[in-house]
Each structure stands twice: as C-alpha cells, then as structure tokens.
Amino acid sequence: MIEPHGSKNLRPLYVSDAAQRAALGKEAEGLPSMVISSGAAASAVMLASGYFTPLDGYMNLAESLSVARQMKLPGGWCWPVPVVNIVPGARLPAGVKPGSRLALRDPNMPGQPVIAIQEVRAVEALSVQDQGAVIAQVFRTSDEAHPGVAALKVAGDTLLSGPIQVLNYSYFPGDFPDTFRTAVQLREEMGRRGWNKVVAFQTRNPMHLAHEELCRIAQQEVGADGILIHMLLGKLKKGDIPAPVRDAAIRKMVELYFPPNTVLVAGYGFDMLYAGPREAVLHAIFRQNSGCTHFIVGRDHAGVGSYYGPFDAQKIFDEIPKGSLKIEIFRGDHTAWSKKLNRVVMFRDAPDHKPEDFINLSGTKVREMLVAGQPLPEEFARPEVAEILMKYYQEEAAKGQ
C-alpha cells in the first residue's frame, strides 16, 4: 500500500472517542445550527472517513478559486474540485461570524441531526462571477442541464470555511452495513488480506461483462494482489440505478465469477458530481488514501451526456504536474465482446476489428430488453446480474403504469 495524499498518515475527521463525541453532541445543543446541503453533508462523510486527506474541513474562497483554476491547494497539493459548505446567506443563523462554532445538520437523515461541528474561520460572499469561474473550470460547462452545475447554482451565495469535527457517517452505515467502508477500514482490510498492490475500479452503475473483464485485465497487467470494486453510495441523477440494486448485482457477480480473496467490494458516502475529468482526479486521490496503488480510468469516466470527450478523464492526468499523485493510472479503453476472438477485449487490443465485430448494446436498448423480460446476451452481461436488473426495471415500469 502507498502513503495517503499529502500526508504520512490518514487524517480522518470522525471523532472516534466516544466520550469526546458525546461532549461535542452536548455542546451542539447550545450552538447555532443550520441544515446544510446534501453535497456538503456528503463531503463531511468523506472528510470523516479519511478519503479527503489532507483536508481538515471546508475550503475558503481563495482555496476554492485556486483549486478551480490550478487544481492546486495554496500549500501546493493537487486537488481538483472545491470541497465547500455553501449556504444561502439569508438562512445563516444570527451572529455567526469568524470564530463562531456552528452545528451542521444533515438534510438526508430523519430529524436532521447534527452531523458535524464547524469552527467558522471565514464567512464570505460567493459572487456570481466567482461562482461562474468555479463552474466553468470544474465542469467545463455552465449549462444548467448538467446535474453538477445545477446543484452548485442552487446551493447558496455564502461560503462557510473552516475545520470540522464529524459526529457520524450519516445514513451510509445504516443503509449499507455490509458495503460502506471508510478509507481507514479499507487499509485495515487490505492489510489483513496481505494485499500490497491493489487496483481500484470506480462505479456508479452495475457491472456488465466488459467491466468485469476490464478489472481482470488491469489486475493481470499491473500484477495486483487484489481488486477494490468501490461504488458510490450517495445521491445520483434521475435515471441512475439505485445503490442497493447495484450493490446486489455486483456482489452476485463477484461471488460467482471471481476467485476468493481477489476482490473487495465496498462503497463510499459521496454524492456524484458528474464532473468528468476533474472528478476522475478526485477519484484517484481518495483511492490513494484508501491504500490502492493503481486506479482504472476508463472511457467516459464520471461523465454525463456529451459534455466531455470519451478519454478526457485520462488526458487530465497528463495535465497535472508529474508526481502530484502517488497512485498510478491504468488507462482502460472501450471494452466489449469480440465475435472474432470469442472473448472480451479492449478496442485498442483489436485494431483489425470493425464495430460490427463487437457485441455492444446501448443503455437504452439494455433497459428496453430488461423491461420486456428479454434476457441479455451472455456475451454482454452475466445472467445472474441481468436477472437482478430485470426485476428492478420491471418493478419500476409497473410503478409508472
């Protein structure tokens, strides 16, 4: 395993000492409080988990602009997207100013309990110009049809920066007890398994046969001891498959088609940004913090619609200064079943193939087949995975009738 990003050791911000956590919970009862955005709450979970090492809390305006424009924190560390607590200024509790302590409430839990306490170091107005600069750099578009752009534009007009102490991991341990894991836990588990070289695969979707084989190809090419299949468990855009369905499908695939002790299935508590190249760098950073030595960046990584080129998320790793990250990037090509070779291959490894030589279904076609109860080709998806997805899509279709 490799060192965390920007630090010799992980810096999880979860208050693990029960007595200290209880004292902070008691303190929170007397503090001004406010409900934060889902994105800010998810960032608190990532900070708590150690995934966002070396950060100690939410960024201020100067840090946010430095990250947006240069992908760099003022201290020099590479960082691709601002980690911020943006709130509507009109909702800010009276008297909150630099030096205040503020209880942050979780919008995603019943009763909106306190998820963290923030030491407010700055309260800054976020101008339309600065907001626009961040959006343009991070998302490479200002189109409000982009889900990440839309979420940032409605978050608010005031930045609250400063370190936080996190009291819980929101809904993730309760909803995903077998899957949600912190960076600390992943390092511990990899150590127990005796893994030193680990390749990570990011997903917000179920895995078809091509994804499965891409993991195998990467493991073999880098000589990894194991594979971390690491799925996003937070909020997604409308139309994406919910985490419980995805979790069940991936676990079934691993159970049936991978040798024991070669794959670790886990999830992290973050909302999807759909920031394409910038999000790919963020994904690499928190896989480094998890202890992984290699990270698969495939075609259209973390993208949405047609905002990014198919390999922009790979090219960005050529744009950051050499040595910015310790984790190595495995660049995956489009992968599909070859009728000529009778196996899954990456397109770059089959230069003599034409498009018709591959079995490749669009997402729309896959959904239509599953809703209709038609089995997917076994060259495209494992039948046990397809069965789980078919049940989900047919239930969703029945709800819409």
Does any domain span residue 8?
Answer: no
Is residue 57 classed as helix, strand or coil in its secondary structure? strand
pLDDT of residue 401: 59
Same-domain pairing of 197 and 158: no
Does any domain span residue 255?
Answer: yes
CA gap 179, 169 in Å, rounded? 13
Residue 46 sits in a domain of what CATH number? 3.10.400.10
Tens of pLDDT, residue by residue, the chain (401 residues) = 799 999 999 999 999 999 999 999 999 999 999 999 999 999 999 999 999 999 999 999 999 999 999 999 988 899 999 999 999 998 999 989 999 999 999 999 999 999 999 999 999 999 999 999 999 999 999 999 999 999 999 999 999 999 999 999 999 999 999 999 999 999 999 999 999 999 999 998 889 899 999 999 999 999 999 999 999 999 888 878 889 999 999 999 999 999 999 999 999 999 999 999 999 999 999 999 999 999 999 988 888 889 999 899 999 999 999 999 999 999 998 888 899 999 988 888 889 999 888 988 777 788 888 888 888 888 889 999 999 999 988 888 888 65
Helices then strands, counting H and E runs in the chain, come out as 13, 15
Same-domain pairing of 167 and 191: no
Does any domain span residue 321?
Answer: yes
Does any domain span residue 206?
Answer: yes
Same-domain pairing of 309 and 295: yes
Q: Which residues of 151-165 are buried (b: 16+ CB within 10 A; e: fewer)?
A: bbeebbebbbbbbbb
Residue of 39, 348, 362, 335 whose CA lies nearest to 215: 335
- Give the other-Cβ count within 10 Å of 346's Cβ: 19
The residues that bridge with 34 in the sheet, in sequence order, are: 104
Out of 173, 193, 227, pick the residue that ends a domain: 173
Does any domain span residue 112?
Answer: yes
Same-domain pairing of 231 and 130: no
Same-domain pairing of 57 and 198: no
Burial of 8 (0-12, 13-18, 19+ CB in 10 A): exposed
The number of domains in the chain is 2
Q: How would you list the strands of the sheet with 335-338, edge to edge?
A: 343-346, 335-338, 358-359
Same-domain pairing of 304 and 364: yes
Same-domain pairing of 148 and 208: no
CA gap 337, 343 in Å, rounded? 5
Tokens of 246: 């995805």
Range of the domain at 79: 18-173
Same-domain pairing of 139 and 288: no
CB-based contact 233:269 (threshold 8 Å):
yes
CA distances from 162 to 24, 33, 78, 392 (A): 17, 15, 19, 42
Residue 219 sits in a domain of what CATH number? 3.40.50.620
Max Cα–Cα distance, the chain, nearest Å: 70
Same-domain pairing of 351 and 314: yes
Same-domain pairing of 203 and 105: no
Out of 152, 173, 194, pick the residue that ends a domain: 173
Does any domain span residue 5?
Answer: no
Is 287 among the catalytic positions?
A: no
Point out the catalytic residue in the list 140, 193, 205, 251: 205
Does any domain span residue 11?
Answer: no
Same-domain pairing of 94 and 35: yes
Same-domain pairing of 110 and 154: yes
Does any domain span residue 6?
Answer: no
Full DSSP string of 276-332: THHHHHHHHHHHHHTT-SEEEE-TTTT--TTSS-TTHHHHHHHHSPTTS-SSEEEEP
CA distances from 314 to 42, 81, 281, 299, 396 (A): 25, 16, 9, 8, 35
Is 204 among the catalytic positions?
A: yes
Point out the catalytic residue in the list 101, 121, 140, 204: 204
CA atoms lying within 13 Å on the CB side of residue 125: 4
Out of 117, 140, 173, pick the residue that ends a domain: 173
